[in-house]
Structure 1
Amino acid sequence: MNQLNVASVREFLLDFVDERLSVRGYSAAEVNDEFDLLVSGVIDSLAFLEMTVALQERFEVEFDFEEIDPVQLSIVGPLCHYVSSLKNA
């Protein structure tokens, strides 16, 4: 089994939201682990669903929404760590 690192997840995630970041005046370089994509307005509820589906498909994982606090799924650091931990479990 290939180990997935957090940096790979972060790269994919920031690529996925790159255009939305630009529209809101952010660059990927400014996004830290505490950056909340939903609260900042980078994504809305529909984009949140699209993002979670894209992450699950790309990394072949399935989110357990009972296992994680849904609020953490819109924050870059916790989200990337969660996806990585699912793949590496």
Structure 2
Amino acid sequence: MLFINKNCYYQVVVDLNCKASGEEDNMSINIKEQLLKEIEKASDSTLKKVLDFLLFIQFRELQQEQLEISLLSESILAEDWLTPEEDEAWQHL
């Protein structure tokens, strides 16, 4: 069950309004401050879960970046690889 504190909900609405108006730097600071406050209150078991989730998100973002880089570089590398000379060089394998 999810309980939302009215003040937290208000903060989310304010943050969304900041994002819509282009004040994303303020929003980042507010989110970090809010996270730090919540971290101070959290139990060790909750902190372990939060850390695990944060690391998962960072890993997923890194994988996505690497995939995008691979896809972008594939067409450029294909120009060198897809030549008759390359086909001949690798024919014996």
Give the TM interval when normalised to the shorter protein: 0.3 to 0.5
TM-score, normalised to structure 1, is: 0.33
| Greater per-residue helix proportion | 2
Question: Highest relative contact order (Cα 8 Å, sep 6+), 1 or 2?
Answer: 1
TM-score by length of 2: 0.32
